[in-house]
Amino acid sequence: MKTLAEKFDAKTGNKRILALDGGGIRGALTLGYLKHIEDLIRKQHSKPDMLLCEYFDMIGGTSTGSIIAAALAKGMSVDEIRDKYFELGTKIFGKKYRWYRIFEIDDLLKAKYDDKALISELKNVFGDTLLGDQKEIKTALVIVAKRADTNSVWPLNNHPKGKFYDTEHGNNKAIPVWECVRASAAAPTYFLPQSIHVGGKDSYAAFVDGGVSMANNPALQMLMVATLKGFPYHWEMGEDKLMVVSVGTGMTRWKKLPRRISKSHLLNWASNLPEMFMQDASWQNQQIMQWLSRSPTAVEIDSEVTALEDDILTDEPGRKKGLIHYLRYNVMLDVEDLNERFKPSKPYTQKQVDSLAAMDNAKNCRKLYDLGHMAGAQEVKQEHFPANFKV
């Protein structure tokens, strides 16, 4: 297996990236998919205890995806993370600020949940591990957060040649992993922002959830981290050289009758705008990734251009190969879709689906995991992981 230095190095063979979406407690659905991916690579390599951090050269995520990504990068199996996630979810989304706690009234007006449980559980999982710990972290790690005071996306990563790793510009290597993850998961209205000592001239910076950006689906951002010259990786593109596996947390179908839209008032629009923007960003990310590839998991996002089967964005005219090998796995959280796809003995109701779509209903952990596991059984296929990407 590759060493961490070999995983960073652009010259050490084909590269594999795992990108995990944000979505609150719905990260349990992601774990259902990851169980199938882990089983598949173990079978492919004839190694029953192989970990995803051994297979992927870069693992990253946004918000809840960053929690899972960091745990995978630290060397945990999917089963270990699943068990911890079920416990963690109940604690994190179980303790709300109470109206009668007057001494916390300022926090009560800013966030729905008390972050003490979140911080405690993250410290329990990641301990004193720093972002620059070359022994504890087994692969390239990218944690996508949003710096609130500059309105910029920060892909915190552990490459030792990074501009902000250990230089006059910053000291990312000394940031505890739990703080990086807490920053990425600081969803506005759910949790308070996270302040981090980043070094350099700014010293401290305030962060909010990375999902409050174009990178709630972080696949495109991670591809840029892996390939753009400003970042330290400089991995080569080519569908036989670079694979990106992107896993979602479930997607809701936007259904609004025209007559209801025309009657919407300011409060309606205000409550719907965050979901609208996050869905737009995710679909745009996915469409661009499909444009760069000949993805076997491509879906129709825009009925005018279909699934982009005949469109490949390359640097060579007439080239029939994509610039990446791209896989996207996700579930549509829609009553008709779920009932038609899984044909449950007791059909899903709209109330049940609305409950599954909530990002803070910890009671749904097991149901979401099972849903992701059922979807993974249908979607994750051996042929999606070509032999040339074996470790």
The DSSP letter of residue 80 is H
Q: Is 253 left (phi over 0), alpha (psi -120 to 50) or beta?
A: beta
Q: Which of 21, 57, 63, 115 is catalytic?
A: 63
Cα within 13 Å of Cα(51), Cβ side: 20
DSSP per-residue letters across 239-260: TTTEEEEEE-S-EE-----HHH
Q: Which of 57, 114, 115, 209 is catalytic?
A: 209
Closest CA to 118 of 89, 146, 82, 142: 89
DSSP-assigned beta bridge partners for residue 359: none
Place of tokens 């706690």: 101
SS3 label, residue 59 = strand
Which residues, other chains included, contact 160 with Cβ-Cβ below 8 Å and sequence gap of 6+? 8, 132, 134, 166, 173, 232
Show contacts of 335-342: CB within 8 Å, 24+ apart. 337/253, 338/371, 341/375, 341/378, 342/374
Q: What stretches of 288-384 adopt beta strand conformation (E)? A: 325-329, 332-333
Question: Is 293 designated active site?
Answer: no
- Is the CB of residue 22 less than 8 Å from the CB of residue 249? yes
Q: What are the C-alpha distances in Å from 145 to residues 37, 123, 269, 339?
A: 26, 18, 26, 35
Burial of 320 (0-12, 13-18, 19+ CB in 10 A): exposed
How far apart, in whole angstroms, are the C-alpha atoms of residue 64 and residue 70? Answer: 10
The set of catalytic residues is: 63, 209
